[in-house]
Amino acid sequence: QEHLQESGPGLVKPSETLSLTCNVSGVSIRSYYWNWIRQSPGKGLEWIGYIYFSGSTKYNPSLESRVTISVDMSKNQFSLKLGSVTAADTAVYYCARGGYGASSLFHPWGQGTPVTVSS
Amino acid sequence: EILLTQSPATLSLSPGERVTLYCRASQSVRSSLAWYQQKAGQAPRLLIYDASNRATGIPARFSGSGSGTDFTLSISSLEPEDFAVYYCQQRGDWPLTFGGGSKVEI
């Protein structure tokens, strides 16, 4: 059964880099698109970006200057790095597969991991 | 970016009732609209994609319709497990965006 699990620090200091990993099990990371999405009380659900297993990426322009998404096929996982974080980056971060052959449908999702930006 | 406006923000209903939720896009997204359900403490779950296609395992009481800028999600007869927040998401243009959500409460 397919399962996505986010992991990473729950607390990040302002101006530092947020780093999260999504471990994928039950399906090969090859041949799919993989997304990061976040949810905060202030901004709701916000798409961060995707990576294709080949390494091609697309990011939300609002975050593009600070975001890097990468894939590690040997570990069947993909990762998110968000630099120069501020309190506005405090959110629950989700990873999700591109469903139904599309990069832009999110199915299924990981359970989410909360990240707080604070000194 | 395309703005999605959902209404109503909150709806108070009883099990067995029919519910219709609305999502309006600031510009046409053709039929490229999806609906998600989110229960408290859980990740969203895909219900409907491309306006009217039910995702795998989604009960037939859920249905979607619309195209262009106006879309609806209907639940024919509310079950206790349907009380949740519902979000629309467009994939007609980049960046992908979500609506603010509609909460269906008892």
What is the least distance, in Å, from the CA of A44 to any CA of chain B?
6
Q: Chain B: nearest CA to A103, how far in angstroms?
A: 9
B98, HSE (Cβ side, Cα atoms, 13 Å): 26
Output phi, psi for A88, to 5 deg.
Answer: -65, -15
Inspect the interface and report whether the beta carbons of B55 and A99 lie closer than 8 Å. yes
pLDDT of A103: 85
Phi, psi of B67 (to 5 degrees): -165, 160
What's the rounded mean pLDDT across residues A72-92? 97
Average confidence (pLDDT) over B67-90 = 97
Task: Give A42 or B24, the one with higher predicted confidence.
Answer: B24
Report how many Cβ contacts below 8 Å link chain A to chain B: 52
Residues of chain B contacting residue A100, judged by C-beta atoms under 8 Å apart: 49, 55
How do residues A2-27 score in pLDDT, each as one tens digit? 999 999 999 999 999 999 999 999 99
Q: Are A98 and A34 in contact (CB under 8 A)?
A: yes
Measured between alpha carbons, how far is B52 from B65 in angstroms, rounded to an integer? 5
